[in-house]
Homo-oligomer: A and B are copies of this chain.
Amino acid sequence: MKNKRTIRDIADELQLSITTVSLVLNGKAREKRISQEVIERVQKFVREVDYRPNHFARSLRNGKSQIIAFMAEDISNPFFSSIARRIEDRANNSGYKIVYCSTENDPEKARELIRAFKDRSVDAYIITPTEGIEEELKELVAGEVPLMLFDRYFSGLDTGYVVIENEKSTYEAIRHLVDQGYSSIGFVTLDSVQSQMQGRLNGYVKAVTEAGLPEQVLRVPYGSPETSIVDAIRNFLQDNRQLDSLFFSSNYLGAGGLKAIRSLKLSIPEDIGVVAFDDSEIFRMYTPDITSVTQPVEEISLRLVDSILYQLKHEGQQVDTGKYKIALPARLVVRGSSVKNK
């Protein structure tokens, strides 16, 4: 049971050369003109003894690890973990395993992780990039390693990515608030220059400008603990009594915002309308339920992994990178938190 059989054992037992066995195993038998009889003999035997090739030896020889790295900002965030969940299956089906890690949006940590993955020659990368790791990404691209960014990207870098139409969907969400009669709309975002946050801000600015409303933006420092987020939002509301609605540009800002609103005993949607970017179970269960810009998690995952697998399959062949620059539409799911007159 435990005495691992090697390809050499197989060859000996079948009175064949290692080469022949290897060729059959790798499906190159026909092309190398091994006879049908031998092919079948090998296949049958290999099946019988349940021979399993040694991954290390194979990897050493061909430089491939059959591993894909999944670098999220935080794997315990439902947005990332549900993508992780979906990526997993398709990757497994194609013989790849996934190693994950969380950057915590720390460039230093991200760099180290990429380094470690390089050392292990992972075959491909799926990354939510932190600010400041352009150099490392550039090196990956130069090394022709399949790479997809998601959630955000660097416009200056020629990498594949899957993102959301942030500007457009935020614009529509704000329009929705305007249509509902809200006229003093606050925008709560992170103090970050990342592309997805910029896009959302742009959508907001565009919509309020068009509607002739003032811009009222709160920037919470990146990486704040939840209590600080709640405090910041509470202060924002207290300092700006005229606010009649808030847009939260991420799911955890939304969760913090709800706590802040509750602690001020404001009622939703009468005193304050609410829309959040990124759906979550909390928003669906909250009373009232929260209107949100819902990202197509399923499709994001699909596009990511399919792009990666395609690149892996056609490695070396220079493929059109434009094909991998994907912006998906998000859906505005209107719920009770933003509908005044019922």
Contact = CB atoms under 8 A, between A and B. Distances in A.
Interface stretch (A96-104, A163-171, A239-247, A319-327): A96-104
Interface string A273-314: 000000011100111000000000000000000000000000
Contact of A282 (B74, B117, B120, B285): B285
Contacts of A141: none
Contacts of A81: 75-76, 78, 81, 84
A101 B85 CA distance: 8
B99 A67 contact: yes
B67 A74 contact: no
Copy tally for this chain in the complex stands at 2
Interface residues of A, number: 47
Nearest to A297: B76
Contact of A85 (B52, B59, B75, B97): B75
Interface of A: 2, 52-57, 59-60, 63, 65-67, 74-76, 78, 81-82, 84-85, 88, 92, 97-102, 113, 116-121, 142-143, 255, 258-259, 280-282, 285-287
A221 B337 CA distance: 34
Contacts of A2: 142-143
A78 B80 CA distance: 11
Contacts of A120: 55, 66, 97
